[in-house]
Amino acid sequence: MSKSVSFTNTSGQAQYVTLRPVTAADYRSPVPAVFDNDYDGHAELALTDIVGMLFPGGDVSKKPYLYIRHTDILKSQVRFGNIVELGDTFLEPQKGVLHLDEAPQAGVPFTPYRELEPGVFGHETLEPPASYTFSEKGFTATEGDYLSLISDPWPHAIFEHRSLYNNVSTVIQPASIMGALDGVPFLGLGEHDRSHIPSKVGGFDGITGSFGYFYINMMGIRHDGRREQALVSIDNSGKVFARYFIDGETPIMSDQVTMTADWVRLPYVDDGTCIYEDATFSFAGKTLHFHGRWGSKGFTPKPRVEKHGQSQVFGTWYEGDEPYDHKLFFGFVENMEAYDKNLEAAGFDVIG
């Protein structure tokens, strides 16, 4: 029987989170007013991410592609990102990426992040060509002649003050996404994340020393049209945060979570790194059930086996006691420092 482990925030005050639509002012300044305070460390925009699951033809019965673009604003260069063909099972790494030679890889420079036109912000790479824009109306991505993506933002963004990653303050904008991949229309769900790092730290390189966390982000559109999202983050510094939202109800947030899972050692590494196929997360009267279907090890052309302790899986989910399918879904799990010994010390069982 799967073990349940309860996590309670021990990092001081409960995580400070607000929900509201983004504004042009949030995008305009390197240190937006919402984070320009002593608590957040006058946090400066350091990283921008676009991530989403792309279903060609909108067919959710088939394995999606995972699109991710991760950029370092302070260095004006790409950190990583690709259109990833995920593994066929939760225990398999990625099978590869699409358009490897045509996509901007790590280290490729882009133009300075700036206001491109009133209320629209972004940047671009010149060779290979790609562009990314952000505004109150949503985010876009264009890469070469093979990918175009637009978004329809969900009702409010999540403003996390001093969240994961050593007190990084983050804006998460969930959205429905659509566009074309290799000329084939797709539908999907995803988000735009903006990580703001305390000014005195000096960017992303200053926070990478002790990453350890369980993170899961689940989105879905039910067949009645209601949008729902669940997000859980459990950090080894003692930070715990969980959120659930569905159209028509007040969002729920908590700093106490019970996680139930059986962890399995990844079969293609020998360092004790683990992942799970199924897990439940319970908080504030809600229970989220996740089923992992497709694995990855990084978002690179070949699995990042050298990234010890990292595991990822993507899949389906539902809330409550009665299983249901979503008309469109997104389920993204990432763990860091997920070693068998760490997990057993936390109270979980490790099998395989």
Residue 168: per-residue pLDDT: 87
> Mean pLDDT score of the chain, rounded to an integer?
93
* DSSP sequence for 258-319: EEEEEEEE-TT-SS-BEEEEEEEEEETTEEEEEEEEEEESSSSSS--TTSTT-EEEEEEEEE
Pairing of strands 349-351, 114-117: unpaired
How many CB atoms neighbour CB 225 within 10 A? 8
Residue 176: per-residue pLDDT: 98
In sequence order, the 6+-apart residues with CB closer than 8 A to the CB of 224 are none
Residue 164: per-residue pLDDT: 67
Q: What is the pLDDT of residues 143-153, one digit of tens each?
A: 999 999 999 99
Q: What is the pLDDT of residues 177-199, one digit of tens each?
A: 999 999 999 999 999 999 999 98
- The segment with the largest mean pLDDT, out of 26-30, 159-163, 225-229, is 225-229
Distance of alpha carbon 299 from alpha carbon 295, whole angstroms: 11
Q: How far is CA 17 from CA 170, 215, 285, in A?
A: 10, 16, 19
Give kind and range of the element (H or E) at residue 72: strand 65-72
Q: What is the pLDDT of residues 287-310, one digit of tens each?
A: 999 999 999 999 999 999 999 999
pLDDT higher at 201 or 314: 314
Burial class (CB in 10 A: 0-12, 13-18, 19+), 313: buried
- For residue 80, the number of C-alpha atoms closer than 13 Å in the C-beta half-sphere is 8
Q: CA-CA-CA-CA torsion for 115, 217, 301, 131, nearest 10 degrees?
A: -10
Global pTM value = 0.94
